[in-house]
Structure 1
Amino acid sequence: MGWVHRRRDHGGVIFVDLRDREGLTQVVFNPEVSPEFHKKAHRIRSEFVLAVKGKVRLRPEGMVNPDLKTGEIEVMVDELEIFN
């Protein structure tokens, strides 16, 4: 659970940087993984409060962000709750 820091729509996949007391974590809404929640992710805006569940995985090669404590992982979302 956390606050939306930033949302990026890359044509098919939507990326959200979710902020909590630990820092930022990238969460990924992929229409091939969860079409229902990918559709809901289009409504997400900065500072929305979200709860997500999904699979934690290593980011693809070349996509690691060394500036973030969580820069080596991302969460592939398969459940979403929007609180506002």
Structure 2
Amino acid sequence: MTVALMWEARAAEGRGDELLDWVRAHPVAGSPLRREILRAPGDRVLVITWWDASYDAELPELPDPDGELVARPVHRWRFESLGAPDA
């Protein structure tokens, strides 16, 4: 089974690039199958990691950045991959 962990944070006003640098400097422990970093308007940063693991497996996640770097608490979600649709 493949499990995707999603980590999303919104930077404090004017600190979007700093949050992006923080994410890049904090790789997830372990060996995910894949790691992708995305950004969106509003200084939001999203990190998705894919793992070969059961849905309820204990997996490493990014920590929370310093409270002054983010505008609100970090959001985290866990999904089970159902595979890519047939083309």
- TM-score of the superposed pair, with normalisation by structure 2: 0.33
Structure with the greater alpha carbon radius of gyration: 2
Structure with greater proportional strand content: 1
Could you state the TM-score of these two structures normalised by the residue count of structure 1? 0.33
